[in-house]
């Protein structure tokens, strides 16, 4: 098992000087926001820990809470492989404790934790979840495995290629059903070419709530580099099927993933929120129309996306996208859906 100590990152490098070249005032600065998806890690040439997270959360928007998602960070060095991810949960819970001290403007970082646990290990999964609950308590909200797979070497968003067909593996399915026994969500990151597998999994496990990350992964690199319209049409058709299943919620974000095919990092100055909103609106409007705001939530996917745009500019873009939404719909997208799906213990937004 990889412990996250050393690997080549598939993400765009963060350049603080470049990001600083684009500044905007925060739109709707008082709107309460839950960042439903971010990571933390300390890696060569890439550090995003407590203070980096706090700096982004404090960059102009009212980020009241966040959800940490597995990053292969701080795995335990010793012991059986299946229990090494417990170290990451312990680490994220420690960051949450730092926030709970009140030192950071009473924000609630890592209020929810989506852990990484191998769902194919059978009955041992009960022991792993038990240990994770011991170190995180009620903050443990879900599990995510590495499942985004494509046969093209150009389509990579993870330094470690997961096995093909994991989402339809019988052992994986057994593990997924175990999550439902603990009232835990399953977060899934999959490419648009895998959404039929997500559909079958969701149908087979109606008692489980699935959170689909990063729009459902419309790929824009490799064999899809010059096929954005064709990919959009294929993605939309699959998304329509998924939206018919009530146990699926979707995250709006992840546009800064290299596999999405945007090239903001190649520009002389970072993109404006107007440009981002214009580029992203076809996807976000499609998802909001099909799922409804009560099943959609915005996410940052930082620091992964930070190589493309800054935290504050990104939230401005999301807010611009919502210009035509009602007050209730805006509350859903930025706060209520994440709070409800992850059962976060927070005041109402």
* Confidence (pLDDT) at 137: 96
Cβ-count burial 179-198 (b if 16+ within 10 Å, e if not): bbeeebbbbbbbbbbbbebb
| Cβ pair 251, 34 in contact under 8 A | no
Q: pLDDT above 70 covers what percent of the chain?
A: 97
Name the band, by pLDDT with cuts 50, 70 and 90, for residue 7. Answer: low
pLDDT of residue 44: 85
Region 238-253: mean pLDDT is 99
Q: Environment class of residue 8 by beta-carbon count within 10 Å: exposed (0-12), middle (13-18) or buried (19+)?
A: exposed
* Average confidence (pLDDT) over 206-215: 98
User: Does 346 score more than 90 pLDDT?
Assistant: no
Mean pLDDT estimate for the chain: 95
Kindly report, residue by residue over 15-52, the tens digit of the pLDDT. 999 999 999 999 999 999 999 999 999 988 889 999 99
Q: How many angstroms separate the CA atoms of 184 and 307, rounded?
A: 31
Alpha helix stretches (DSSP H) within 170-326 = 170-181, 195-204, 228-243, 273-291, 311-321
Q: Which of 286, 326, 249, 315 is nearest to 34 (CA)?
A: 315
Residue 347's pLDDT band (boundaries 50, 70, 90)? low
Tokens of 203: 């149908």
Kindly state the percentage of the chain with pLDDT values over 90: 92
Q: What is the pLDDT of residue 3?
A: 45
Lowest mean pLDDT among 7-11, 24-28, 323-327: 7-11
For residue 14, what pLDDT band results from cuts at 50, 70 and 90? very high
What pLDDT is stored for residue 8 in this prediction? 67
Cα first-last separation, the chain: 40
pTM for the full predicted model: 0.95
Q: Report whether pLDDT(4) > 70.
A: no
Q: Cβ(68)–Cβ(95) under 8 Å?
A: yes
Average pLDDT over residues 124-137: 98
Q: For 156-172, what is each residue's pLDDT tens digit?
A: 998 888 999 999 999 99
Q: Answer yes or no: are the C-beta atoms of 341 and 211 closer than 8 Å.
A: yes
Domain ranges of the chain: 30-341
The tens digit of pLDDT for each residue in 53-77 reads 999 999 999 999 999 999 999 999 9
Report, as an integer, the average pLDDT of 316-345: 98
**How is domain 30-341 classified at the architecture level of CATH?**
Alpha-Beta Barrel (3.20)
List, for residues 276-322, the tens digit of each pLDDT value: 999 999 999 999 999 999 999 999 999 999 999 999 999 999 999 99
Question: Residue 9 — very low, low, confident or very high, per pLDDT cuts 50/70/90?
Answer: confident
Confidence of residue 194 (pLDDT cuts 50, 70, 90): very high
2: pLDDT strictly greater than 90: no
Residue 17, pLDDT score? 97
- Cβ within 8 Å of residue 278, ≥6 positions away: none
Residue 268 has pLDDT above 80, yes or no: yes
């Amino acid at each position: 098992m990889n412990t996250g100590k050393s690997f080549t990152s598939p993400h765009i490098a963060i350049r603080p000087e470049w990001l600083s070249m684009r500044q905007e005032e925060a739109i709707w600065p008082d709107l309460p926001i839950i960042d439903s998806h971010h990571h933390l890690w300390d890696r060569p040439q890439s550090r995003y820990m407590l203070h980096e997270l706090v700096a982004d959360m404090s960059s102009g928007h009212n980020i009241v809470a966040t959800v940490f998602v597995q990053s292969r960070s701080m795995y335990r060095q010793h012991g059986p492989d299946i229990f090494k991810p417990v170290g990451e949960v312990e680490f994220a819970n420690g960051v949450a404790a730092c926030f709970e001290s009140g030192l950071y403007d009473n924000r609630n970082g890592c209020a929810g934790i989506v852990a990484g646990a191998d769902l194919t290990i059978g009955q041992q999964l009960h022991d792993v979840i038990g240990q994770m609950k011991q170190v995180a308590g009620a903050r443990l909200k879900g599990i995510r495995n590495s499942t985004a797979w494509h046969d093209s070497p150009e389509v990579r968003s993870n330094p470690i290629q997961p096995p093909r067909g994991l989402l339809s593996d019988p052992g994986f399915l057994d593990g997924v059903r175990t999550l439902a026994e603990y009232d835990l969500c399953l977060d899934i990151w999959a490419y648009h070419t895998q959404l039929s597998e997500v559909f079958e999994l969701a149908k087979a496990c109606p008692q489980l709530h699935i959170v689909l990350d990063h729009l459902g992964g419309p790929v824009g690199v490799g064999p899809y580099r010059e096929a954005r319209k064709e990919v959009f049409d294929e993605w939309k058709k699959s998304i329509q099927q998924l939206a018919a299943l009530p146990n699926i919620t979707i995250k709006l974000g992840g546009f800064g993933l290299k596999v999405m095919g945007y090239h903001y990092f190649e520009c002389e100055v970072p993109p404006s929120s107007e440009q981002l909103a214009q580029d992203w609106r076809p996807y976000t409007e499609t998802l909001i129309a099909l799922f409804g705001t009560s099943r959609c939530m915005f996410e940052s996917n930082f620091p992964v996306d930070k190589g493309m745009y800054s935290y504050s500019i990104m939230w401005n873009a999301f807010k611009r996208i919502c210009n035509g939404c009602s007050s209730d719909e805006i509350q859903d997208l930025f706060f209520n859906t994440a709070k409800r799906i992850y059962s976060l213990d927070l005041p109402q937004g």
